[in-house]
Every structure is written in C-alpha cells, then in structure tokens.
A and B are shown apart, each in its own frame.
Chain A
Amino acid sequence: MSDQSTPVIELQGLEVKLGGRQILKGLNASLTGRCIGLLGPNGAGKTTLLHTLLGFHPPSAGAARIFGHDIKAEARAIRGLMGYMPESDAFIAGMTAVRFVRLMGEISGLPSERALERAHETLFYVGLGEARYRKVDTYSLGMKQLAKLAQALVHGPRLLFLDEPTNGLDPSARERMLRLIRDIRDTGEVDIILSSHLLRDVEECCEEVLVLKNGTIATYCNLEEERRANRKFLEIEVRGGDDGSFAAAVEALGCEMAMGAKQKMKVVLPEGIEVRDLYRLAAERQVQIRKLDFKKDSLQDIFLKAMETEVQANGRI
C-alpha cells in the first residue's frame, strides 16, 4: 500500500505518440489514492496511459513514476510490483486455470512450489476454485475475466491495473467482480487503478477519479471530498408563497440561493443554519415544502462537467 508521502503514480508532462498520432498530451498529475478510477470516453487515452505505465509504449516526452520508480529507467523493477488485467480476452491456450496462473506466478518470480500454492489460493479467492482444473479455453466470458484477475493477483502485486474488468459481464457476475475489487482494496495491501467507461463501476470502488479527455486530464478529484464539499446543497420544491417572501427570508438567513423553474430552488446552507430553520420560515409564510433533497454532485455530474470544460495547454483544467 502506498504511504501518503509517496504518490502511487506521478505524471510529469507525459506525452505518447502512436503511429504518428499524439495520444497522450502532456499529462501532469500526482495520484495518491488507494483505488483510483480512470475514466474517459472511448479513445480518451485510458488504455494507452496504462500501457505506457506498463512500459508497452515509450513516452515521446515527459516522464512518469510509479512508487517513485521511473517507468523508463526502472521498467523491470516496476513490472515486478504490478499486476495487470488486460481489457481483451487473454490467456495461454491449452492450459488448465491452475497451470496458467502458476505459470504467470513463476514468470513473476515466484518459486515453482509457491507459485502452485498461490495459484490454487488465488483461484479459490476469485471464485474459480471448483473450476480450476478446467482448461481456460473452455471458460465462459465471466470465468475468463476472473481467471485474468487471478493471474494479475497471483504474485501479490503492490499495484493492480484493471482495464475494463466488468466488460461483457452479466449483472450478477459484474456485482461479484466489483465486490472482489472492493475486497482487494480493503485488504490495504494493494493500490488499484481501475480503468473503465462505466461510471457506476468507478463510483462503487474508487476513492479518486482521473478523467481523461482527448489525451489530456479533464479532471482529477477525490470522490469523497467532492461529496463532502457538496453536502449542503439543497434542492427544494415549494408550493404557495407566490409573493417571493419565502425566498427573500431564506436569503436573509444568509443562504446562497438560486431560483429554478416551477418553484424549485437550490440553496446552500451556511454554517449554523439547519434544515429546520427552512421549515420554520416556510411555516411562518404558509409555504409548503413539497420536496427537499440533499444534492450531492454524483460522479456523472463530475464527469459531464469535466467533459464540458476546456482543457488548458498544460494538460490541466
């Protein structure tokens, strides 16, 4: 697990060109979370960023560090710390799951006997215990996803890259995969980078979110802090009080307020003001509060806001 002083990933003006086309454009960020979501529309550069961090693509400019190790100079050491679950189907043909996961463990440096032990343990952990002697070729899509997760975990990495882990899964398999990811996160032994275009997956598992747009960072935020910062936004729908006295009274309390259509209003409560004060004001003015919601910015709001925001030349919003 990363200690808070050392970022899990640092990007310093990272640029990547593939086939003559610039895919990543000067990314700057310092990612510190235990489970970081990598979001973005198709073609935003999520997979390219993961591949670059894995050393598959050389950066054309800039640098990146994982746990303080430079991805170019210390690629081998970095790969020893990582587990990678690719997006597409990936397995070694003709092998049973236990043999496949064992091979991957041995390639990562585990001694043969320990790799076998851990292959069994990992397959049980991801829920393939009963099917571990079946050839991976014969697995269903959901089982192949779990086998990919097992091979990424077998050597006990410090950082886990999950590229679209719920791709093609039915709702129950998806729920099981997300539960596993949360469980791995909660062990506290591994940091996770979860790349997905499914906002709910990221929302359910991640603490921080990095949103990419056209190869640049559109936003990077801590989901919990965002939620906390927006706790006192209230969406209120009222009936009666057409003279505007209620709105004026709410403003007089010191609340920031914006009127919407159909007697809807958005209210930010300052320190010391509670919801009961609004009810009191409404009662005094014969106004009915028909609906009152705590409005938190959902990940969808954050994502949509990021997509609308123009990105500056340095890769930050």
Chain B
Amino acid sequence: MAVYERNFGRFKGALTPTGTRFLILPRYAFREVFQSKFFVAFFTLCFALPFAGLLMIYLHHNLAALKFLNLPLEQLKDALPINATFFSRGLNVQGSLCFLLALFVGPALIAPDLRNNGLPLYLSRPFNRTEYVAGKMTVLVVLMSLITWVPGLLLFFFQSYLDGAGWFGENLRIGTALFVGSWVWILLLSLVTLAVSAWVKWKPVARVTLLILFFVLSGFGQALNNALHKWWGWLFSMWAAVQNIWASLFGKEIDPDLYMPVPAAWLALTAGCLVCLWLLSRRIRAYEVVR
C-alpha cells in the first residue's frame, strides 16, 4: 500500500468495542491455519460424513430415486433408520475428528507466544488474560463447531423438514443432545489443548502430551478397572466420561465396557476443565516471577 505519513502521531479516530476485541486473535489464527494445504484437505474431509448423512436422509425420504437399482427399498429404509443412533454415531465420528483437529491446530496457539515473549505485548494493551484465552479458545471452538453441532443440527432440521413437525417434536431430545454433547466435548478438548500448549513449548512434544493424556490415561483407567473390577479407572479417561455423557443425553444404553455413573462422568470432566483453567491461569501471565 502507499504510505503517505512517515511521522509519529496520535490516533484520533474511534476505537473498536472492547467486548469483541478478543475475536481479533482467531481472525489472525485462521489465516495461519488455512495456509497449510494438509489442514485444508483434512478439514474438507471432516465434512464427508455430514454430507453422507445428508444424502442418507434425503434418500430415506425419496426412495423412488433409487428405483433403478432394483433393491428392496423398504427393507433398506428400515435397516437405516434416522434416529438417535444415527445422530449419536455421527457425533462419535466427528468427535474423534475434533481430537485430530486439536492435535493439529492446538499446540501452535499459545506456545509460540510464550517462547517469544509475546504475552507482555498483548497484556500491556487494553486486553486481559481472560480475553487472550478466550481469543485462542475461539479458534478451536469455531473449527470444531463447524464439524460437530453445526452440521449435526442442520441434518436434524433437514430430517425434521422432510418428516414433518411431528418428528421434530418427538425427537427434540436428539437436537438438544447434539448441541449440548458437542459443546461438552469441544470445551473439554479446547481447554486441555490450550493448557498443554501453555505448558509445553515444542509442538511435537505438545502433540505427544495430548496423545498421552487421551490414550495412555484411558489405558491406565482400563488397567485399573481390570485390576479392581470397578469402573473407577474411567475417571482418568476423558473419552469414556464423554461417551457416558453422550449416551445419557441421547437416551441410549452405554457400552458395558465403558460404563461409569453419569454424575461421576460429569464430575470427572468438570474436574478436568477446572484443572486446565488453573494451569492456564498459572501460565498466562505477562511475566514469570522467579522465587
């Protein structure tokens, strides 16, 4: 751009509202993230299942379109019902993709700022620690929302549109479960990823740490359960806890191997979130005080 002024001068225009200033961080972060072709390919693939679901719902209500295949269409329709199981399985797959997304995007969110002393630059401005964390978290929340509850609810409304208002009223619980269940997983995953990014400065090590937190802890929980013949080990497994919560939200039976009481699952996830918030509050500071 042409530069007309080369002097120092005060800015005399109107400032942007402080309440929405944290959204500047995701705007800048999205540009960095979508510069990676690998990420763009991965993110596009994340929409494959919702698109397949859309097709299935459409065909479920327009079987005539498949007449030329000479298949037993009515039996096919009964074999693939659009119900809580359909949406719950979709959420399971998309939830797993969220983990991969967090693995790719998360470690680069806070660690580089800490490594290069970027925090004093943010926090010496009218911008506080909460806004900083909210801004960084929004990056993950937006990306994960776009592959979980947003397409999930679109499919739910599409099904309601094709099946009629009756289906919507009878299955309102599915929509609620999709929305609440997705948010529970997104918030947990975002907080864990940010906490790891704040404490582990190297991206590869941060990724390994995330894998350890999700898989090794689940393995440890499984081993504990086997040793004690109890469910207590699942308190260490975020995936088992969220599976129980999703099952209760959709009103489905939980896989007996993953069973834990739903209140215990909520407690485990809440405790996990609080620990992450504490870790973030310890780390997101303009300066470290060396005792």
Contacts and interface: CB of A to CB of B under 8 A. Distances in A.
B89 interface: no
Interface in B222-263: none
Interface stretch (B49-57, B143-151, B206-214, B283-291): B283-291
Contacts of A41: none
Interface in B1-37: 1, 3-16, 18, 21, 24, 28, 32
A170 interface: no
Contact of B8 (A99, A109, A187): A187
B28 A103 contact: yes
Given A92-B112, A110-B11, A189-B9, A79 B1 contact: no
Given A56-B287, A120-B1, A90 B7 contact: no
A184 B11 contact: no
B270 interface: no
Nearest to B115: A93
Contacts of B291: 19-20
Interface size class of A (residues with CB under 8 A): 35 or more
A94 interface: yes
Interface stretch (B118-126, B156-164, B167-175, B181-189): B118-126
B3 A121 contact: yes
A183 interface: yes
B115 A155 contact: no
B86 interface: no
Contacts of A187: 7-9
Nearest to A160: B8
Contacts of B122: 107
A161 B286 CA distance: 15
Contacts of B286: 51, 54, 56
Nearest to A114: B13
A77 B126 CA distance: 7
A110 B3 contact: no
B6 A90 contact: no
B113 A92 contact: yes
Which of A54, A79, A108, A109 gathers the greatest number of chain B CB atoms within 10 Å? A109
A118 B5 CA distance: 8
Interface in B265-291: 285-287, 289-291
B192 to A, nearest CB: 23
Contact of B18 (A76, A82, A84): A76
A82 B124 contact: yes
Given A93-B115, A108-B125, A114-B13, A84 B120 contact: yes
B38 interface: no
A200 to B, nearest CB: 23
Contacts of A108: 15, 125-127
Contacts of A79: 124-127
Contacts of B13: 110-111, 114
B117 interface: yes
A83 to B, nearest CB: 8
B116 interface: yes
Nearest to B128: A76
Interface residues of B, number: 41
A114 B15 CA distance: 10
B1 A90 contact: no
A91 B117 CA distance: 7
A271 interface: no
A300 interface: no
Contacts of B125: 79-80, 104, 107-108, 155
Given A103-B28, A109-B126, A129-B3, A90 B116 contact: yes
A249 interface: no
A110 B120 contact: no
B17 to A, nearest CB: 9
A156 B118 contact: no
Contacts of A124: 3, 6
Interface string A179-196: 000011001011000000
B116 A116 contact: no
A213 interface: no
A60 interface: no
Given A110-B16, A116-B1, A91 B120 contact: no
A270 to B, nearest CB: 45
Given A20-B291, A56-B123, A92-B118, A103 B1 contact: no
A13 interface: no
A183 B121 contact: no
Given A109-B16, A109-B18, A86 B9 contact: no
Nearest to B6: A124
A111 B13 CA distance: 9
Given A19-B289, A79-B125, A189-B8, A109 B21 contact: yes
A65 interface: no
Nearest to A118: B11
7 contacts: A84-B121, A90-B121, A108-B125, A111-B16, A117-B1, A129-B3, A187-B8
Top-10 shortest CB links A-B = A109-B15, A19-B291, A84-B124, A156-B10, A156-B11, A90-B117, A93-B112, A56-B286, A80-B126, A121-B5
Interface of B: 1, 3-16, 18, 21, 24, 28, 32, 112-113, 115-118, 120-128, 285-287, 289-291
